[in-house]
């Protein structure tokens, strides 16, 4: 099913989470007008395989990755072209993995390419408020534009929102300071959270407002709202509207500055071609009822 819309109604983090939870495979097309030149539109393409982001580019000729490698001085475009013509692995395998199998690039170089090709540009798109998008399911993936590494859309969301400095585009999406957070999981999340996210998670009980959480942790309310949004958009919590005065909440033990930072595990995985067995996807996290209700209403308005 083709999905179309605007970031003003359905933000990119929310869209990526929806595609991840649905284990979607296809092409996400994004069109927006840059601030500097309103007369020239820009387009960006993000490819997903079973909910994992496998590639991204601002072109469709499958030459972006080759140019990126050549610009770094690792391999010339002529050599890459020649190798792809004579090697059989390029028939059904990503360009990056084939170059690695030939000893032309190293695993660490592929990780650097994935960060530059996918993470940085996709995360920068979180700052775009007004853009049109269209997702089209397709089984055809651009092997010539793929490093062979991938990352779940949820992990891309977390990394992108943690690094985001300008929240203007997502300002209206932030939960209200008078709201609380209600957890969607009984146990602690398996998702890798950083130290501040864990601290806010300890208050996910539907009884404490975000303002009280900010006061208790002595961090700005905007920071708590942003952390709360991250927990909500990745399906760990939902906004809980307080109907009575928020009780005073006191920790039995004060938080220490020595709270350990939870580091991210190795996030990228090699892409599995269709000819190989595919690992069983990890168990999906619960989706908030309010998120589903808003999504259904959004999709109905687009199909009517």
What pLDDT digit, counting tens, does each position of 219-252 carry?
999 999 999 999 999 989 999 887 654 444 444 4
For residues 271 and 265, the answer to whether their CB atoms sit within 8 Å is: no
- Which value, to the nearest 10 degrees, does the dihedral of the CA atoms of residues 125, 129, 131, 135 take? 60
The residues, any chain, with a CB within 8 Å of residue 155's CB and separated by 6 or more, are: 264, 267
Q: What is the pLDDT of residue 297?
A: 60
pTM, rounded to two decimals: 0.78
pLDDT digits (tens, 9 = 90+) for 63-85: 999 999 999 999 999 999 998 88
For the chain, which residues score pLDDT lower than 70? 34-39, 185-189, 243-269, 271-304
- Confidence (pLDDT) at 291: 54
Per-residue confidence (pLDDT) for residue 185, from 0 to 100 = 65
Domains of the chain in sequence order: 3-162 (no CATH), 174-250+286-303 (1.10.10)
Tokens of 120: 């940085």
What's the pLDDT at 254?
Answer: 46
Query: What is the rounded CA–CA span in Å between residue 102 and residue 123?
Result: 31
């Amino acid at each position: 099913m083709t999905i179309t819309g605007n970031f003003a109604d359905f933000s990119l983090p929310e869209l990526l989470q929806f595609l991840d939870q649905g284990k979607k495979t296809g092409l996400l097309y994004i069109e927006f007008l840059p601030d500097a030149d309103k007369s020239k539109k820009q387009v960006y393409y993000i490819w997903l395989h079973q909910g994992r982001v496998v590639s991204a580019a601002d072109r469709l000729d499958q030459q972006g990755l080759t140019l990126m490698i050549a610009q770094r001085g690792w391999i010339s475009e002529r050599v890459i072209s020649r190798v792809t013509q004579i090697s059989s692995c390029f028939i059904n395998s990503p360009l990056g993995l084939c170059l690695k199998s030939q000893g032309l690039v190293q695993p660490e170089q592929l990780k650097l390419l994935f960060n530059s090709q996918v993470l940085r540009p996709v995360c920068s798109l979180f700052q775009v408020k007004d853009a049109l998008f269209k997702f089209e399911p397709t089984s055809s993936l651009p092997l010539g534009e793929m490093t062979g590494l991938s990352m779940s859309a949820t992990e891309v969301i977390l990394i992108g929102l943690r690094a985001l400095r300008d929240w203007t585009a997502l300002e209206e999406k932030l939960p209200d300071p008078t709201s609380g957070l209600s957890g969607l999981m009984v146990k602690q999340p398996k998702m890798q959270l950083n130290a501040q996210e864990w601290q806010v998670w300890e208050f996910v009980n539907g009884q404490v407002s975000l303002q009280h959480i900010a006061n208790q942790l002595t961090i700005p309310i905007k920071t708590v709202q942003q952390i709360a949004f991250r927990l909500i958009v990745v399906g760990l919590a939902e906004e809980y509207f307080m109907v009575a005065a928020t009780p005073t909440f006191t920790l039995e033990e004060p938080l220490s500055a020595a709270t350990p930072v939870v580091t991210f595990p190795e996030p990228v995985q090699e892409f599995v071609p269709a000819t190989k067995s595919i690992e069983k996807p990890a168990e999906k996290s619960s989706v908030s009822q309010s998120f589903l209700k808003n999504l259904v209403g959004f999709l109905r308005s687009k199909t009517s």
